[in-house]
């Protein structure tokens, strides 16, 4: 019997917003891999201008109590302010941890001055995955597990959609120049890489503009620094695949339903990042969407698989570089704050970690 995900299955419009926001966070968590897999256009123009607005201003003006809660919750988040952190232990020369945003927006592809100093002095540079530097090698690795990219059984994206949701997906993809028939065997997290981020972001990607993490890796190679990665692209996709496919499909539908609002969400995330308020990402999401059960469950699953579990791996795999000193480690800013963030993981491993910006 065909499994459908209908609008009636969702608890409310708030839950729809929640899943769409989680979908954006999800894509940002592994955007280097997803956007690299999306490919590069051979003849892309400059694309549309970015037009999103910072939602925090509206929340502050229209819902001051909600805005106050964002501020309160962010202030209560451990290590929720600051992008650059100094890592020290025993007589080793200091290393540094820097939070990045996996987008190509010009506002987020530069290191802050203190971070640039730390990067220049580093012996080794470490990013989430170096697999994104070599597309041929990346694809060869992923072809050993094609089920991470495509449905390899009789399932298709359309077989998981109700007629109503299929209409939303078909129109949303068509608006982006993607015929549904051409991607019906593609796993929904691959499609998410094409629809969750603004058109201006995807146009920059098509023009080959790199994210900060990739720029840092390229600069490290040019300078003869040791280059390392904390994960593999395959492990990132495996984390995505561990979440129920229904979660991905529902988030994809709801993201397409949001339309231009996705640009406002993205713009708000950039503003939060620019301010270094990493602890504000999740409070903003919860304030923007008065989540109910479906949204809470979706976020909890995302947080466990895509942030918390990966934080453990990142902290452990950073150890060989930290043990030699003078490492510069760049990971998505979502991985920094909180009791289970990378900063706290390193402290529990015996390092002294202090804010450095």
Each residue of 106-159: pLDDT tens digit?
999 999 999 999 999 999 999 999 988 887 877 887 788 889 889 999 999 999
Cα end-to-end distance, the chain, whole Å:
56
Predicted pLDDT of residue 162: 94
Predicted pLDDT of residue 302: 76
The per-residue pLDDT for range 37-58, each reduced to its tens digit, is 655 444 445 566 788 899 999 9
Query: Is pLDDT of 5 > 70?
Result: no
Query: Is pLDDT of 280 > 70?
Result: yes
pTM metric for this prediction: 0.86
* Range from 63-72, 243-252, 260-269 that averages highest in pLDDT: 63-72
Strand order in the sheet with 84-88: 226-229, 124-127, 327-332, 95-100, 84-88, 352-355
Neighbours of 296 (CB within 10 A): 14
């Amino acid at each position: 019997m065909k499994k459908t995900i209908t609008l009636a299955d969702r608890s409310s419009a708030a839950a729809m917003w929640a899943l769409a926001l989680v979908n954006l966070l999800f894509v940002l968590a592994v955007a280097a891999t997803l956007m690299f897999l999306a490919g590069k256009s051979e003849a892309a123009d400059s694309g549309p201008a970015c037009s999103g607005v910072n939602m925090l201003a509206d929340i502050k003006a229209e819902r001051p109590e909600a805005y106050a809660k964002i501020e309160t919750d962010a202030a209560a988040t451990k290590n929720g302010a600051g992008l650059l952190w100094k890592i020290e232990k025993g007589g080793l020369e200091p290393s540094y941890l820097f939070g990045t945003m996996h987008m190509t927006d010009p506002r987020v592809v530069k290191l802050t001055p203190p971070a640039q100093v730390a990067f220049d002095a580093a012996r080794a540079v470490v990013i989430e995955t170096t697999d994104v530097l070599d597309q041929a090698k990346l694809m060869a690795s992923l072809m050993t597990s094609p089920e991470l990219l495509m449905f390899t059984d009789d399932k298709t994206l359309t077989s998981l959609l109700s007629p109503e949701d299929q209409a939303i997906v078909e129109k949303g993809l068509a608006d982006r120049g993607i015929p549904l028939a051409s991607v019906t065997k593609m796993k929904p997290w691959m499609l998410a890489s094409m629809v969750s981020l603004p058109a201006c972001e995807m146009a920059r990607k098509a023009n080959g503009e790199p994210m900060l993490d990739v720029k840092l890796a390229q600069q490290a190679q040019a300078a003869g620094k040791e280059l390392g990665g904390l994960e593999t692209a395959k492990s990132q996709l495996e984390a995505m695949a561990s979440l129920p496919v229904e979660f991905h499909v529902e988030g994809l539908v709801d993201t397409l339903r949001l339309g231009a609002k996705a640009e406002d969400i993205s713009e708000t995330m950039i503003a939060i990042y620019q301010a270094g308020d990493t602890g504000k990402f999740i409070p903003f999401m919860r304030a923007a969407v008065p989540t109910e059960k479906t949204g809470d469950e979706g976020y909890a699953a995302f947080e466990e698989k895509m942030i918390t579990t990966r934080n453990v791996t990142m902290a452990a795999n950073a150890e060989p570089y930290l043990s030699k000193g003078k490492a510069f480690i760049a990971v998505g800013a979502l991985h920094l704050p909180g009791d289970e963030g990378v900063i706290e993981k390193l402290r529990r491993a015996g390092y002294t970690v202090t804010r450095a910006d």
